[in-house]
Amino acid sequence: MQWLYLQGAGLVRSALFLVLLTTACDPVFSADSSVESNVDLRVLIDVSGSMKHNDPEYLRRAAVRLLIGLLPENARAGMWTFAGYVDKNVPPGPVNDNWRNKARQEADKIHSRGVFTNLEEVLQLSSVDWNNPDPATRRIIVLLSDGVVDMSQDVEVNERSRAQILNEILPRLRQNNVTVHTVALSNEADHELLKSIAVATDGWYEKVERAENLQRIFLRLFDKSFPINTVPVQDNIFIVDESIEEMTLLVFHDVNSKPARILMPDGKLFDSESHPGNVKWRHEKGFDLVTVNLPDIGTWQMDSKIDPDNRVMVLSNLKLSVNKQLNHILQGEEQFIYARLLEDNATVIDKTFLDHVDFSFHYGKPGGKTSYDGLLDNGKRPDSQAGDGVYSAWLKAATEGKYQMSVIAEGPTFKRESFCIVNIHGSPVKADIMYADGRYQIALKKHLKLRGLVIKSIDVKLNDRLYAKNIKKSARDSWVFYLPQNFSGANMTVKYIAQVGDRPQVVFTIDQSVPE
């Protein structure tokens, strides 16, 4: 069990973070969770024959339709399917009613009849028009596959194609600021490749055991791709305030169950068959998507099975803005959390109003226990300036794994929530020891391909005594040195510095015994 120290909050238990009360930098909201930004999304769906086994009920269709229904109208999006050949089903274009209708028609045609799996070509063709970086647009690819690079029955052809993805296509995507989220829908997929593509582009990688989980995975990828405000949902109950102009409810249910019902503040119920004129309802296998224009003020309830992934997304002139959290963080790396309320896209600084608003931070493993505490705006570290309407905390990742984080702003008459999932990585370097020709070969290899990750200042101790300092790189992402046979059984400690881009440096140590 770790501990969490939070300024002004005393000592509380946590399995995730240690908050450092040292000098903080100025808040940066250049890519936060509320500011409108241009998004260009490309969705790539595997339709190879192996999907007959991994997705026999074609649940890829419902997952894609969920994503289509959630996309905001200020986005651009397109869809490709692929097996041995690549089809551009929906050309990239602005998301509107015509685009959605076309996309839903194409989603219903997703099949499992293809031969081979041409990952190289679909990545190439879907991004062919992204030739230069575009600071004004967030470029995102969602790639779903259940296989490996399989263009031919010739193994060498497949190996060359895989190398082409890693050595040619992936660097081009990184250079053009493309984020790739990858989903592997089988144990037989090339998990190493799909994970490498995602991590190298600061994207998200998911291994899915059952096709029934695809909808929730696509929801997670939507959360990572689009800045959407939500209101907190507790036991399917949520509150609508007067500033909310429109809300969209996502209600999960069993694949073959009946649609949910919605209880309004006046006690009236409506469903997919009978609902007010300001309601649009889509019932799908596994979920209902309900949009309500100008919803009544008060307490609402979803009359359905309680599910932690149920959402209420809102359009409002009162927004919670949280600085963007990275998908991938090194264990021990310092992270900032800054939150503010925006009214008509301007930071709320009215002290009389903010004195009645509570900013809280919640964190924990998905599906596990959640810890929480407050964010502060008092000018004391880690907060940079008192009374500027920005509430702050400075976190340091203490344990590796995937964690869900959310920030909630709660006033007397409203609630807003912003959340994300982050992946905290342990040592990005591994040590392999081999014995040959009367000596030990120690090979240090960088196995984590984070964008901008640099390894430096590698020192080695044997039995607590310095053996080598600042070992030089032997090849790309690897360092090799040798030990004589008389160091058999010695305790070896490798200490090095890891840094991602201009983020703070992190010191790692690897403790390993030399085999006897």
The per-residue pLDDT for range 102-112, each reduced to its tens digit, is: 999 999 999 99
Amino acid 46 reads D
Strand segments (E) across 323-470: 328-330, 334-343, 346-347, 358-364, 371-374, 391-397, 401-410, 415-425, 429-436, 439-446, 453-462, 465-468
3-state helix, strand, coil split of the chain in percent (to 5) is: 15, 45, 40
Query: Residue 500's closest CA among 426, 449, 458?
Result: 449
Position with higher pLDDT, 126 vs 74: 126
| Cα–Cα distance, 312 to 233 (Å, whole number) | 7
In this prediction, residue 68 carries a pLDDT of 97
| Cα–Cα distance, 490 to 162 (Å, whole number) | 40
The per-residue pLDDT for range 266-324, each reduced to its tens digit, is: 999 999 999 999 999 999 989 999 999 999 999 999 999 999 999 999 999 999 999 88
CA distance to 44, 225, 231, 337, 341, per residue, from 354 (Å): 44, 29, 18, 18, 9
Backbone φ, ψ for residue 49 (5° rounding): -65, -25
Cα atoms in the 13 Å half-sphere on the side-chain side of 274: 4
Alpha helices in 206-247 (DSSP H): 214-225
Backbone φ, ψ for residue 217 (5° rounding): -65, -45
Query: Residue 324's closest CA among 138, 180, 183?
Result: 138
Q: Is the pLDDT of residue 18 over 70?
A: no
Amino acid 290 reads V
The per-residue pLDDT for range 447-465, each reduced to its tens digit, is: 998 989 999 999 999 999 9
Backbone φ, ψ for residue 425 (5° rounding): -105, 140
| Cα–Cα distance, 60 to 62 (Å, whole number) | 6
The average confidence (pLDDT) of the chain is 89
| Cα–Cα distance, 329 to 396 (Å, whole number) | 10
Poorest-confidence range of 30-39, 69-78, 247-256?
30-39
Tokens coding 198? 């995602």
CA distance to 22, 55, 92, 324, 342, per residue, from 32 (Å): 23, 36, 25, 5, 12
In this prediction, residue 236 carries a pLDDT of 97
Alpha helices in 210-320 (DSSP H): 214-225
